[in-house]
Structure 1
Amino acid sequence: MAATAVLGATLLTGCGGGTDAYCDSLDDAQGKFSALNDADASALEDFKNAAEDLEGDAPDEVKDDWGVINSAYDDLEKSLDEAGLTFTDLEKISEGEMPEDLDEEALTKLGESMNDFGGDDLEKAGEDISKHAKDECDIDLDAS
């Protein structure tokens, strides 16, 4: 599951915080980031909720970085929706199981969107968050 790998890799090289409450939230959410590697649709939903909460709690130094990550996630979700698919469908596709009534054109468009997913901005946001997490929260997200 390409999107999961990008999100997981990005998050494992990037997350952060400055205040005690943010650091506590980040520490609590850390397991949700590593769960992304399992290509589990529920892990994607858990991640989405955690990332949105972290963006709201994040200190100014990383708030925009969380925004970049959440925006990328929203774009992925929008692409899936336009293709008539869900994260559960994406999980099944990654396992070689095609949903019934799959629109081949929509799937091709989704594939193009997923190829564009990530990029330098997302990678940099992840790196910035990771560095901040280590420096300010003493949390090593790379070890997740």
Structure 2
Amino acid sequence: MKKSLSLAATVLVGVTTLSACGGGSGDYCGDLESLQDDFASASELTSETAEEVFAAFGQLAESAPDEVADDWETVDSNLEGFQSALEDAGLDLANLEDIDPTTLDEDATAAIQEAYANLANEDSQAAFTAIEEHALDECDVDLSE
């Protein structure tokens, strides 16, 4: 599970390397800026910070402009699916690092692996790319740095 959490962090880094939000206007860019610390911590995602980062993504999904609303919905839905698979197995992000994966039943493990794979599937990658392009165009934030 620790390995999975590390890979989730790698996936999330694609949209979590925010350094500032300038040039854009509106609540969305303000939300990006106000959540900057949460995003900075995503590159070092731990069980303690994961819940905060996932919640921050949910907030951005709610405030996203129409141009990227569907993309944020994809990201948020996949994160919620991962959390739901964990909960169904009796786990949560707070205790993920302490779990021995050999103690999980096969169905729970398969569900977690499937939900986790959705975090990096083609739809998620396309959503991350669209969010990155929009952030640069509308908020003057280069997420590729």
- TM superposition score normalised by structure 2: 0.77
Corresponding residue of 2:109: 107
Q: CA deviation at 1:141?
A: 2.2
| Aligned counterparts, 1:54-93, within 5 A | 54-93=60-99
The answer as to 2:9 corresponding to 1:4 is: yes
Corresponding residue of 1:118: 120
The CA deviation string for residues 61-120 of structure 1, in whole angstroms up to 9 with x for no partner, is 011111111000011011111222111232335xxxx28x93242335423442343201
Residue type of the partner of 2:127? Answer: A
Residue type of the partner of 1:9? Answer: G
- Structure 1 portions without partners, runs of 5+: none
Q: How many residues were matched structurally?
A: 135
CA contact (8 A) 2:78 2:115 kept: no
| Higher-helix-fraction structure | 1
- Structure 2 portions without partners, runs of 5+: none
Corresponding residue of 1:53: 59
Q: C-alpha separation between the residues in 2 aligned to 1:42 and 1:68?
A: 24
| Residue identity (%) | 32
Secondary structure, in 3 states, of the residue corresponding to 1:140?
coil
Q: C-alpha separation between the residues in 2 aligned to 1:33 and 1:71?
A: 18
The CA deviation string for residues 20-61 of structure 1, in whole angstroms up to 9 with x for no partner, is 221111122233223222131232211222222212221110
Q: Superposition RMSD on alpha carbons, in Å?
A: 2.6
Secondary structure, in 3 states, of the residue corresponding to 1:85?
coil
Q: Which has the higher contact order (CA 8 A, sep 6+)?
A: 1
Q: C-alpha separation between the residues in 1 aligned to 2:64 and 2:28?
A: 6
